[in-house]
């Protein structure tokens, strides 16, 4: 028998979450953001469920090739654009649209001898201060691109630093509007947080939106009840089983470093899941976990291949746990549900990081 851990990608949830994007911004075209191997879900696994999107956005050239090999003939956007001049030949061959965020990328376009007009998304830096042209330099970059015979349509784009905050985009939108004033073309500004929190603010829905995390059923705010509040469904479940049960005396410790001390005699379950599976090592005592359908908590430190759980709430609920009892680490299993955002919160991170960290060694299936 294989080690009992497994992950499940829920395609109906992906389709539902894409429909939620459409409901929030009915007039916008939708990029399904599938970077980082579809946030850890696997591009090939999510492709069928998300092909109702208008395009796919990612940043690895190899992932773009994967999508074309899967049969996607529609738009693909490279969110970080080209990393070197030779990438433009691949953009020609695969018909990839690409972000332009610096002058070097314009230089490469100017020197490129290709066979089709390149579709570019010109990125403005509106306060993230990561990549993009400052508002004051944006029109000049736009004019330089527009003058190149190698360049076709130019879309105006920015990325918000604080869209997960109630008043997080007003200043960025003000900068954006000042930088694009008078320029023609489509616009694309909103990530998941902007779609969920700011879709009604002027200009935010734009012509295109770029949701990622909400497609996977986790909240960009990191606040556990938010995903359900927005009617998003978890697209990934991580499940395992108990591989041992210990009955320990009061005063005994659990796990490396003995960071958990039993206050009274108690039952401890050992789960086949550790940080080498992608479970966060920084999750500590109290992190929620579901054992035999009963909510309980993690105990002590997560190790590479195992973690420990408190079985007393499980016993109190009338379930007799033993080797083989199912454990839900996040997602859902039958009637049991455990928000990935709640687990992430307990580990001091976000659902994004947990999904992306799902390890290759975890067998993953689609349902």
- Determine the Cα–Cα distance for residues 235 and 215; give it in Å rounded to an integer: 8
Q: Does 5 sit near ligand PLP (CB under 6 A)? A: no
Residue 33 lies near ligand PLP (rule: CB under 6 A): yes
Q: How far is CA 57 from CA 38, 77, 233, 283, in A?
A: 10, 5, 21, 31
Q: Rule CB under 6 A: is residue 269 a binding residue for ligand PLP?
A: no
Using rule CB under 6 A, residue 220 touches ligand PLP: yes
Buried b (16+ CB within 10 A) or exposed e, 281-320: eebbbebbbbbbebebbbbbbbbebbbbbbbeebbeeeee
Q: Which is nearer to ligand PLP, 212 or 278 (CB)?
A: 212
- Candidate list 35, 47, 279, 352, residue with the active-site label: 35
351 lies in the site for ligand PLP, by CB under 6 A: no
Nearer to ligand PLP, 164 or 241 (CB): 164
Crossing angle of helices 103-111 and 135-146, in 10° steps, is 0
The reply to whether 256 belongs to the active site is: yes
If one counts every other C-beta atom within 10 angstroms of the C-beta of residue 163, the result is 22
Q: Return the number of other C-beta atoms located less than 10 Å from residue 360's C-beta.
A: 8
d(CA 235, CA 193): 18
- 65-104 residues in contact with ligand PLP (CB under 6 A) are 79
360 is catalytic: no
**Is residue 28 a contact residue for ligand PLP (CB under 6 A)?**
no
CB under 6 A: which stretch of 100-108, 209-217, 255-263, 337-345 binds ligand PLP?
209-217
Residues in binding contact with ligand PLP, number by CB under 6 A: 12
**Neighbouring-strand partners of residue 260:** 254
What string marks each residue from 165 to 204 as x (binds ligand PLP by CB under 6 A) or -? --------------------------xxx-----------
Closer CB to ligand PLP, 224 or 268, in the complex: 224
DSSP strand pairing (266-271 vs 260-261):
unpaired
Q: Which of 248, 242, 157 is nearest to 208 (CA)?
A: 157
Residue nearest to ligand PLP (CB): 212
SS3 state of residue 62:
helix
For ligand PLP, give the closer residue by CB, 219 or 287: 219
User: What's the min distance (Å) between Cβ of 81 and ligand PLP?
Assistant: 10
Catalytic residues: 35, 256
């Amino acid at each position: 028998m294989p080690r009992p851990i497994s992950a499940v990608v829920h395609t109906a949830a992906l389709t539902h979450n894409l429909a939620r994007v459409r409901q929030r911004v009915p007039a916008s075209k939708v990029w399904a953001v599938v970077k980082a191997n579809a946030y850890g879900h696997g591009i090939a696994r999510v492709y069928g469920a998300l092909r109702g999107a208008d395009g796919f956005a990612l940043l690895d050239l190899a992932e773009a090739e994967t999508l074309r090999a899967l049969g996607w003939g529609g738009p693909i956007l490279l969110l970080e654009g080209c990393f070197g001049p030779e990438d433009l030949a691949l953009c020609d061959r695969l018909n990839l649209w690409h972000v332009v965020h610096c002058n070097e990328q314009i230089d490469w376009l100017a020197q490129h001898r290709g066979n089709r007009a390149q579709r570019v998304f010109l990125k403005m830096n509106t306060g993230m201060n990561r990549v993009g042209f400052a508002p004051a330099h944006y029109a000049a970059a736009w004019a330089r691109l527009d003058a190149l015979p190698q360049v076709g349509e130019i879309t105006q784009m920015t990325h918000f630093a604080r869209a997960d905050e109630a008043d997080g985009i007003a200043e960025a939108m003000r900068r954006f509007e000042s930088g694009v004033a008078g320029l023609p073309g489509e616009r694309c500004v909103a990530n998941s947080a902007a779609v969920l929190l700011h879709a009604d603010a002027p200009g935010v829905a734009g012509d295109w939106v770029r949701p990622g995390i909400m497609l996977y059923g986790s909240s960009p705010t990191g606040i556990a009840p938010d995903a359900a509040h927005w009617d998003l469904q978890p697209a990934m479940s991580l499940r395992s089983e108990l591989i041992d049960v210990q009955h320990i005396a009061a005063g005994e410790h659990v796990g490396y470093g003995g960071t958990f001390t039993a206050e009274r005699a108690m039952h401890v379950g050992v789960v086949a899941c550790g940080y080498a599976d992608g479970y966060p090592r920084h999750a500590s005592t109290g992190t929620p976990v579901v054992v035999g359908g009963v909510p309980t908590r993690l105990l002590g430190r997560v190790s590479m291949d195992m973690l420990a759980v408190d079985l007393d709430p499980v016993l109190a609920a009338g379930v007799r746990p033993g080797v083989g009892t199912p454990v839900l680490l996040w997602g859902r299993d039958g009637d049991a549900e455990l928000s990935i955002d709640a687990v992430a919160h307990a580990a001091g991170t976000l659902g994004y990081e947990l999904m992306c960290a799902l390890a290759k060694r975890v067998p993953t299936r689609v349902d």
